[in-house]
């Protein structure tokens, strides 16, 4: 069975935004393939503001949360495996959901076994191919 985590994250994200609140996710940065700015990591965790005003191109799939965000004026591609998300909540009142850290996604499998994130697939498809023309 698929993990319930991505479905709950999408549902809580929509509920928080519909209520004009600011969604934040708490990420375990010790999980492999987490791509976040290292200078903002504290005790192996980072809190990310994922509100529509703070990010661009947000995509929450069954395996990844991906978006572009600005940190200290520099635009970065953020990639977080779903299994690394420990919580999603509204900044203003703290309401949301905390996920079991030990569970790691109830059937989501190992991070290395999941498909690559969208930005990695786009990067592969953009590579030019050279051919010899005679």
User: What pLDDT is stored for residue 28 in this prediction?
Assistant: 97
H or E segment and range at residue 65: strand 64-71
Averages of pLDDT over each 10 residues, the chain, 134 residues: 93 98 97 95 97 96 96 94 97 96 52 61 55 70
Residue 74 neighbours by CB under 8 Å, 6+ apart? none
113 vs 105: CA distance, rounded Å = 13
Domains observed in the chain: 5-125 (2.30.30.220)
* Alpha helical stretches, state H, the chain: 5-18, 118-125
User: What pLDDT is stored for residue 119 in this prediction?
Assistant: 57
User: What pLDDT is stored for residue 100 in this prediction?
Assistant: 86
Residue whose token pair is 């609140």: 21
Residue whose token pair is 């572009």: 68
Q: What's this model's pTM, rounded to 2 decimal places?
A: 0.79
User: What pLDDT is stored for residue 20 in this prediction?
Assistant: 98
Q: Which two tokens stand for residue 90?
A: 């509204």
User: What pLDDT is stored for residue 110 in this prediction?
Assistant: 53
Burial class (CB in 10 A: 0-12, 13-18, 19+), 124: exposed
């Amino acid at each position: 069975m698929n993990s319930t985590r991505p479905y709950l994250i999408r549902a809580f994200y929509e509920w928080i935004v519909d209520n004009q609140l600011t969604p934040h996710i708490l990420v375990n940065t010790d999980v492999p393939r987490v791509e976040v700015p290292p200078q903002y990591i504290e005790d192996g965790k980072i809190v990310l503001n994922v509100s529509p005003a703070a990010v661009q191109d947000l995509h929450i799939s069954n395996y990844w949360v991906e978006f572009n965000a600005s940190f200290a004026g520099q635009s970065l591609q953020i990639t977080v495996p779903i299994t690394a998300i420990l919580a999603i909540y509204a900044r203003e009142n703290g309401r949301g959901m905390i996920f079991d850290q030990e569970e790691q996604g109830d059937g989501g499998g190992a991070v290395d076994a999941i498909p690559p994130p969208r930005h990695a697939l786009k990067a592969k498809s953009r590579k030019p191919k050279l051919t010899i023309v005679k």
